[in-house]
Each structure stands twice: as C-alpha cells, then as structure tokens.
Structure 1
Amino acid sequence: MALPAAVAPTLAVAALKEGLSLCQSIISYRIATQQIELQREHMHIEANAIMQRLDNEYKTKIEQLNTVASAHKITLAECKDSSADTVKMIEECQSQIQQLLNIVASTGISENLKINLITTVTQLSQQQAQLVGSHIQSSQAPINGFAMMLDGIRDNSRPRTFTDVS
C-alpha cells in the first residue's frame, strides 16, 4: 500500500527532523562527556599539584623537626656532661663539709680551730648552694629553648599573644 503524495513528504520531513534531533542529542552528549572528561583531568592536575605542595610542606616540617631534634640531642648531651660535672662538684663540696664537721665534732681541738672550721663549712655550704642554683638554672635553659622552638614551629613563627590558649 502506497502512501498518498501529500503525506510522504511530511513523513519524510518528520523523519529527517527526528534524525537531526537525534544527531544533535548525540553531539550534545559527546560535548558534555568531553567537558566532564576535561574537568576531571583538570581536577586531577589540581589535586596532584596540591598533593605535591602538601608533600613538600610535610617534608620541610619533618626536616625542621629533625634539625630541632638533632640540635636538642646535642644540647642535652652537653647539659648531661655539664650536669655530671656540677653534681660531682656538689658531692665533693658535701664530702668536704662532712669531713670538716666530723673534725669539729671530734674532741681535742681548740675553740679557735673550731671557729675557723665552722667558717669554712659556712663558706663551703654557700658555695654548694650557689652550685645547686646555677645547676637548676642551666638545666632549665635548654628545656625552655626547646619549648620555644617547638612553639615557633607549631605557630609557623607567628608571634603569640596573651589571648592564645593553644
């Protein structure tokens, strides 16, 4: 059965319009998928750049911490040696004080000698107290310095204010 002559061109135009519409949809879909692919690639490039920056910042921080740790280790070793020397001097002072007190407590020495020995004991005690005080001060300095360096690293070297509670 043949279609009438007036219907055939209308049907052909409708089929052609439908075909064109389908082609436009396919082209729009391809363009949209290409744009999405470009956006995905751009996001991957940005993400890789950010990851590289974060990795570099991490490595820099680790190097800083390793430097601080090495310096602190050296400082602590020096403090340990210095402390050992100071403690040895304090113990020697204590030993001398004990010997002098034993002499003062013994019988058979003159009053003049006792007074001189007690004066010497007093001087040694003051010297020992000064050694203990300097030992305490010298042991606090590296700890305070280390804490200040860590605060500086943590705060990215920004000055701290009295309102900071971190």
Structure 2
Amino acid sequence: MTTTRYDRQMYAVMNDRRAAAAYATPARRRLLVTLHVALTVVGAGAWIATVFGPGYGPAVAIAVVMLPWVVLTGMLNGSTRGLLELRGRMLDERQLVERDRVRALSHRVTLWLLVAAAAGAGTYSTLTDAPVRAAVTPVLVGVLVVHWIMPLWVAGLRVQDDLADEVADEA
C-alpha cells in the first residue's frame, strides 16, 4: 500500500516530539489521563445537564473545558505516537498488535461500565420510584462518551517510555 500525503502529515504531527517532556514519564502520563478523564466527566456531564435539564447554565462549563480537553487529547495522542489515530499502513507490526490490545482492553472495561450503568439506572428507578427511562438516556450518553474515549485513556496508560537509543536517533 502506498502512503498518501495525509498519512505522512498525520504521522509527522503524531510523532512531533516538541511536547514530549509533558508525557515523558509514566507519572506524567497518568496525570494527563486523570486530567483528561476529569475534563471529559465535566464536559459530558455539563452537556447532559444542558440537554436533559432546565436552563443553559451548564453550557458555560462546556465552553470552559473544551480547549484544555482538546489540548490534553492532542498530548495523549502524541504520547502514543498516534497509535489510535494513524491508519494501519502507517504503523509497524508491534504498533498494530498494541492497538488491538488497547482496543480489546478498552472494550472489556466499557462492558463492565455498561453493566454498572444499567444496574445504577435500575437502582435509581427502584429507590426513587421514577421510571427507568428517566435515567436511561443520560446514562447511555455518558457510557457512549466513555466508550468513545476509553481507548485513548488505556493507550495513554499503557504506552511505554521511549528508549534512550530511539530518542538519540531521532535527535
């Protein structure tokens, strides 16, 4: 397969090491993932509150968290060298295997989250005597967001440190 100009540009973006210091250690990557999770929860929660609740006050929270969320997403993609964003033809065999592992683990985690969400919606309905449908849509939206972004979080936590030789070769 031949690579396209788009493939080469995306590869260059995902492998740009100028921000590498921000995710150079496992502790920093865990912090980035934690911050990303927090911003995702705030943003998704605010969106759910805006759509399913009264008023548009939470829309301000969406506007506030959007820029840092996008920056953190870019940093996590950079830390994985585009593992989830690049086309398969731009990845080597090791990266393809790692991408499959990340996706499989993400789906298992999301499965259990979906089970917990279903149990939570049922419990909410039982405890409040509200119909289940009152909780199902917001819960499903939340689980959909997590299902969508979970592979990035897992990849960010699983990425290995650059070997000193690789870093020296790229310099």
Structure richer in helix, relative to its length: 1
> Given the two structures, how large is their TM-score scaled by the length of structure 2?
0.28
| Structure with max Cα Rg | 1
